[in-house]
Chain A
Amino acid sequence: MSGRKKTLLKVIILGDSGVGKTSLMQQFVNNKFSHQYKATIGADFLTKDITLDNNKQVTLQIWDTAGQERFQSLGVAFYRGADCCVLCYDVTNEKSLNNLASWKDEFLVQSNVSNPQDFPFIIIGNKIDVDENKKIPSLQKKLANITNNQLGGLNYPVFETSAKDAINVEAAFEVVAKMALQQEELNDANGNDVSDDYNDAINIHLEGDSAGCGC
């Protein structure tokens, strides 16, 4: 199944308005930063081909979504078939951190993924380039609190990045790609309903077989 064709991985970036989702994506895809991005409307789309450790070629198809709550009803059109979801907050904006759980819930409701318990999420705290005194006080504690209590106690990978100074962006998206690939292979396996040649790389219990499409 692998190596048959270029593997397409669909990634969704979510988070409050102004946390730097577009900047993260632009930094990752085009290696640039600008102060001149307009507010995202609906969702923007970018792609990047990368090679993973095991020499596997994948194409990331990234949807950079709008942060304003009003657009959330759009999710269905953009979230479906996602292989990984990136939850972003701004390390200087506590509210954006507190909203992570609701972004996650919203995503799960609208994407209709087959394995909500184990769906790969990754958390990115952006803007670490700003002055220390502007950052959320006792951030680590609060973040731990949120992941434990609101994000189901799961150990989602957490990255602190600066889209502006290109810190950790590449590393974060590499993990995104790996997680997305796992999810994709899982979906593939279930979707095709053939005896898969993957061992239980991901330990899940599927509720049903309706992998992916919930339309």
Chain B
Amino acid sequence: MGKKKQEMSQVYNSNNEFIFGEKGGKGKNLSTFLKNLSLTTSPSQPQSEFNEANSNIYGSLSYSNPNTNEISRSNPSLARRASPKRSLSGPTNMSFAHSLTPTASEALRTNSPTRTKRVVSAKYADLDDDWDANFDDARVDTDMPSVRREGFGNTFLDPSPMLDSLYPDLTIPAGTKEPVKDSIDLEDMKIKLEINKLNQLNTKFLKFKALLTQSSNINLQELRKLSWNGIPSNLRAISWQILLGYLPTNKSRQSATLKIKRQEYLDGINSSSLNLNRDKQIYHQIKIDVKRTNPTVKLYGHPEVQKSLRKILYFWAIRHPASGYVQGINDLVTPFFQIFLTNYIWQLQPLLNDPQLFNYNLHNLDPTQISSRVLSIIEADTYWCLSRLLETITDNYIHQQPGILKQVSDLKNLISKIDIDLIHHFEQENIEFLQFAFRWMNCLLMRELSIDLIIRMWDTYLSESPLGFSNFHIYVCAAFLIKFSSDLKQKDFQEIILFLQNPPTSHWTDKDIELMLSEAFIWSSLYKNASAHLR
């Protein structure tokens, strides 16, 4: 027994520090914060501590101090960072700080009686059954249209420090309009266009917000419907977890479920031991593959992140001996991991008066600043969500990979219905579908499309019922291939394979993905009931 433990700690290069890390975060502000949340307090009561942490991390970490606004607002450097110009670049740096800012009394009211005592400092309160966050600031919605007509500059260009990049209107509480500080040209068409875009995003956000908060039981059908067209980045973590069935739709059960699942993961990690011969080989494979997972993204180069991925993958492999670990699963784990990680960071932003936090992204985030405990929670959620996904495609990874062979042959049959000329051309050039489409199935197109596009795609896959990773994915692959059909028909064997090895998607945006998903949807509707293509 003792020996096994030793082995495990060698495997994970740790002394169980991923459970209840005493060291917490190294960053000053972060560690202060985490301590305040009692995530990293004394290890003497690990169990209760963990339970608390469990329920907190992904819940809305809301203010209990209304003055927090003032603190950040008074920091001009923050203001500049959060200016719209910078934030328009993309959804990766958003926070919806102000919209989540309840008054102290609101925070207390929302907390159940047993939770309120965990308001550990004057500054923070953590809500428990709180995936719903505190989207109480509905006032701003009604305020918006007129603001937009009259002079959006007031609102949008207000360099309020917590100004949210994508949902600026949400970030300005009603009645707190501030004087124009910048003399930016209000006629700037570019800005107008951006603002229209932001408003569309905002409408979408509000719909999600309503759906996720307004009822004690989230309407899954409705969530699927909304999510099919893309999920707002800052609600993606919770939405994915619900769509995957990891997080219950019944909000009163969410917190307890998370606690159980996260504990189960930890218990499993601690008790799993190396079965020397076979498992050693699995572990070796995982180790060398994690090293080369997204090698160009800095986050995945960090030893802490690699350790987390190894744990998740190894634990999954030994719990699923029929397939074990198969290369490519290391790719599939990354969307979950980074979504849950960034979700955590976003929730920190409004809470910490740390200008650095605004700058964190996947390329500069230092995971050593995250306590091992928080990391273990992110791991647990990642593990369970990955498991759910893989459940739908188990045949892809068992001996002989029959699932993939069938998918590839289904794809070929489908293409022969849609574009028989392409099939003829491929036949003439001796192209076999397996030669290029195997990877499409094994890695769910993650080698062909950037991670951001994949994440958008998964919004839709997760909204399909049954999940779209098996069947719907074939239609997406068909749409993907057809996109290049006319190019491919001009090419010979060598050129076709080289082209499909490295398809020109680097300039693709969400629009391209959405078009492809729509085409896939049309074909799935057309051919779903005509089972001929599934001979």
Interface residues of A (CB under 8 A from B): 8, 17-18, 35-47, 59, 61, 66, 68, 70-71, 73-74, 77-78
The docked-state distance in angstroms from the alpha carbon of A73 to that of B401 is: 8
The docked-state distance in angstroms from the alpha carbon of A39 to that of B287 is: 11
Cβ-defined contact, B288 with A17, below 8 A: yes
A-contacting residues, B382-409, CB 8 Å: 397, 399-401
Cβ-defined contact, A37 with B288, below 8 A: no
B447 within 8 A of A: yes
Given that A70-B401, A74-B434, A74-B438 are known contacts, is A39 also in contact with B292, CB under 8 Å in the complex?
yes
* Given contact pairs A36-B296, A38-B331, A39-B292, a sample of 15 additional A-B residue pairs in the complex whose CB atoms are under 8 Å apart: A8-B494, A36-B292, A36-B295, A38-B447, A39-B288, A39-B289, A41-B328, A41-B443, A42-B434, A45-B435, A47-B494, A68-B285, A71-B327, A73-B399, A73-B401
Given that A41-B442, A42-B438, A42-B442 are known contacts, is A66 also in contact with B296, CB under 8 Å in the complex?
no
The docked-state distance in angstroms from the alpha carbon of A47 to that of B494 is: 8
Given that A44-B501, A45-B501 are known contacts, is A38 also in contact with B292, CB under 8 Å in the complex?
yes
B186 within 8 A of A: no
Given that A18-B288, A38-B447, A45-B501 are known contacts, is A78 also in contact with B295, CB under 8 Å in the complex?
no
The docked-state distance in angstroms from the alpha carbon of A187 to that of B193 is: 64
Cβ-defined contact, B435 with A61, below 8 A: no
B326 within 8 A of A: yes
Given that A41-B328, A70-B397 are known contacts, is A17 also in contact with B435, CB under 8 Å in the complex?
no
Complex A-B: 15 CB contacts under 8 Å: A17-B285, A17-B288, A18-B288, A37-B292, A39-B288, A40-B327, A41-B438, A41-B442, A42-B438, A45-B497, A47-B494, A68-B285, A70-B326, A70-B327, A74-B401
B31 within 8 A of A: no
B-chain residues with CB within 8 Å of residue A41 when the two chains form the complex: 327-328, 438-439, 442-443, 447
Q: How many residues of B contact A (CB 8 A)?
A: 30
The docked-state distance in angstroms from the alpha carbon of A90 to that of B57 is: 44
A-chain residues with CB within 8 Å of residue B494 when the two chains form the complex: 8, 47, 59, 61
In chain B, what residue has the closest Cβ to A73?
B400
Cβ-defined contact, A17 with B438, below 8 A: no
Return B345 CB to nearest CB of chain A, in Å: 25
In chain B, what residue has the closest Cβ to A37?
B292
B295: contacting residue among A37, A44, A59, A73, CB under 8 A: A37
The docked-state distance in angstroms from the alpha carbon of A74 to that of B442 is: 12
Cβ-defined contact, A43 with B435, below 8 A: yes
The docked-state distance in angstroms from the alpha carbon of A68 to that of B327 is: 7
A-chain residues with CB within 8 Å of residue B432 when the two chains form the complex: 77
Cβ-defined contact, B327 with A66, below 8 A: yes
B-chain residues with CB within 8 Å of residue A61 when the two chains form the complex: 494
The docked-state distance in angstroms from the alpha carbon of A180 to that of B443 is: 32
A-chain residues with CB within 8 Å of residue B295 when the two chains form the complex: 35-38
In chain B, what residue has the closest Cβ to A61?
B494
**Beta-carbon contacts of B416-438 to A below 8 Å, as 1s and 0s?**
00000000000000001011001
In chain B, what residue has the closest Cβ to A77?
B434
B-chain residues with CB within 8 Å of residue A37 when the two chains form the complex: 292, 295
Return A29 CB to nearest CB of chain B, in Å: 11
Return B445 CB to nearest CB of chain A, in Å: 11
Return A184 CB to nearest CB of chain B, in Å: 16
The docked-state distance in angstroms from the alpha carbon of A78 to that of B498 is: 14
B293 within 8 A of A: yes
B-chain residues with CB within 8 Å of residue A68 when the two chains form the complex: 285, 326-327
B-chain residues with CB within 8 Å of residue A17 when the two chains form the complex: 285, 288-289, 327
A-chain residues with CB within 8 Å of residue B227 when the two chains form the complex: none
B330 within 8 A of A: yes
In chain A, what residue has the closest Cβ to B400?
A73
In chain B, what residue has the closest Cβ to A34?
B295
Return B262 CB to nearest CB of chain A, in Å: 29
In chain B, what residue has the closest Cβ to A35?
B295
The docked-state distance in angstroms from the alpha carbon of A40 to that of B331 is: 12
A-contacting residues, B278-300, CB 8 Å: 285, 288-289, 292-296
B-chain residues with CB within 8 Å of residue A38 when the two chains form the complex: 292-295, 331, 447
A-chain residues with CB within 8 Å of residue B296 when the two chains form the complex: 36
The docked-state distance in angstroms from the alpha carbon of A70 to that of B399 is: 7
Q: Quick one: which of B289, B400, B438 has the most chain A CB within 10 A?
A: B438
Cβ-defined contact, B498 with A45, below 8 A: yes
The docked-state distance in angstroms from the alpha carbon of A45 to that of B432 is: 13
A-contacting residues, B324-342, CB 8 Å: 324, 326-328, 330-331
The docked-state distance in angstroms from the alpha carbon of A15 to that of B331 is: 22
Return A101 CB to nearest CB of chain B, in Å: 18
The docked-state distance in angstroms from the alpha carbon of A61 to that of B497 is: 10
Q: Quick one: which of A8, A43, A59 has the most chain B CB within 10 A?
A: A43
The docked-state distance in angstroms from the alpha carbon of A59 to that of B294 is: 32
The docked-state distance in angstroms from the alpha carbon of A123 to that of B494 is: 26
Cβ-defined contact, B327 with A47, below 8 A: no
Return A196 CB to nearest CB of chain B, in Å: 24
**Beta-carbon contacts of B493-531 to A below 8 Å, as 1s and 0s?**
010011001000000000000000000000000000000
A-chain residues with CB within 8 Å of residue B443 when the two chains form the complex: 41
B-chain residues with CB within 8 Å of residue A36 when the two chains form the complex: 292, 295-296
Q: Quick one: which of A8, A36, A45, A70 has the most chain B CB within 10 A?
A: A70
B-chain residues with CB within 8 Å of residue A73 when the two chains form the complex: 399-401
A-chain residues with CB within 8 Å of residue B397 when the two chains form the complex: 70
The docked-state distance in angstroms from the alpha carbon of A8 to that of B326 is: 33
B-chain residues with CB within 8 Å of residue A44 when the two chains form the complex: 501
Q: Quick one: which of A18, A36, A45, A77 has the most chain B CB within 10 A?
A: A45
The docked-state distance in angstroms from the alpha carbon of A40 to that of B438 is: 12
The docked-state distance in angstroms from the alpha carbon of A73 to that of B434 is: 11
A-chain residues with CB within 8 Å of residue B288 when the two chains form the complex: 17-18, 39
